[in-house]
Amino acid sequence: MRIGVVTFPGSLDDRDAQRAVRIAGATPVALWHGAHDLEGVDAIILPGGFSYGDYLRAGAIASHSPIMAEVISAAGRGVPVLGICNGFQTLAEARLVPGAHTRNAHQQFIRRDQKLRVENTSTAWTNAFETNDEIIIPMKNADGRFVADAETLKRIEGEGQVVFRYVEVNPNGSLNDIAGVANERGNVVGLMPHPEHATEPGFGPDTAEAMSSGTDGLRFFASVMSTLTAMA
C-alpha cells in the first residue's frame, strides 16, 4: 500500500507522517504541493506545519495549491484523506470537511499530550478503534479553535461527523470540544492533534506505564490499511 504525504512550503511534520506510515507497514510517497500528480497513491495525508506561514488564514493558501485540485477530486472518488493540524485547517479551507479554525481562545500557542475520545469508528481512519475509546496523542497549535455555525454543528453532531472530542481539557476553546471531524462519506478525516507523533515507543506521549511510550496514533494508520484492504 502506498500512502502519499503532501509537502507544502512550511510543512513541518511531513517527514514524521512518512515515518509513521512506514512504521505502520505501508509505503510512504512524498507528494509535492506544486504538482498536479498524486503518483497513484492509495491514500493521502496532509501533514502539520505552517504552510505559507499561516498567511491569510491557516491552510488558506495551501488549499488553492495545484495538488489540492487532485486531492479534492480523489476525495470525491472515495480515496482516504487524513488532515493533521495544518492539514485539517487546509481540508476545512478546501471545504472537504465542515467548519473552520480560528485563533485559540486564550490567544496562546499550546503544546500538550491531549486525551481524545474516538466517537465515530466507521471512518476510513478510525475503524481500528472501539467507539468511545480514549486515546492520548500530542497536540500543538495556535489556530486550533474549531468553529461552525449552529446549523452545521447540529448537522454534524446528528450525522456522526464529529470523530474526535477533547476529553478533560478543551485546550483551545473549540465548540462542543470538537477535536476532529469527517466528511459525510467518512473517507476524509481531519483533526488538530498529531497521531503521527505517537507511533513508536520512546518517541510518543507519556503513559502511566512509561515515559514517551504512547503509540495510540498507530491505529489511525492500521485503520486506513484495513480500509484499503477492504476496498481492494
Partner 1 sequence: MPKAELLDPQGKAVAGALVRLGKTEFSGVRIGKRFEVTVDRPVDDALLAEVRELAVDMFSNSVIEDVVSVTALREPQGPQ
Binding to partner 1, residues 157-186 (CB under 8 A): 173
Question: Which is closer to partner 1, CB of 11 or CB of 174?
Answer: 174
Residue appearing with cell numbers 487524513:
82
Beta carbon of residue 148, minimum distance to partner 1 (angstroms, whole number): 6
Q: What is the DSSP string of 133-187?
A: EEEEEEEEESS-EEE--HHHHHHHHHTT-EEEEE-S--SS--GGGEEEEE-SSSS
Instruction: Say if CB 214 and CB 198 are below 8 A apart.
Output: yes
Q: One symbol per residue from 22 to 61: x for binding partner 1 (CB under 8 A), - otherwise; what is it?
A: ----------------------------------xx--x-
93 a catalytic residue: no
16 contacts partner 1 (rule: CB under 8 A): no
CA 8/CA 14 separation, integer angstroms = 9
Is residue 111 exposed (0-12), middle (13-18) or buried (19+ Cβ within 10 Å)?
exposed
Cα–Cα distances (Å) from 144 to 63, 81, 103, 117, 175, in that order, read 17, 19, 6, 17, 11
Q: One symbol per residue from 72 to 101: x for binding partner 1 (CB under 8 A), - otherwise; what is it?
A: --------------------xx-----xx-
The correct pick among 27, 34, 37, 64 for binding partner 1 (CB under 8 A) is 64
Residue 100, C-alpha cell as written in the block: 473552520
Question: Which is closer to partner 1, CB of 51 or CB of 104?
Answer: 104
228 contacts partner 1 (rule: CB under 8 A): no
**Between β-strands 188-191 and 81-84, what pairing exists: parallel, antiparallel or unpaired?**
parallel
155 contacts partner 1 (rule: CB under 8 A): no
Q: Which residues bind partner 1 (CB under 8 A)?
A: 56-57, 60, 64, 92-93, 99-100, 102-107, 145, 147-149, 152, 173
Active site members: 85, 194, 196
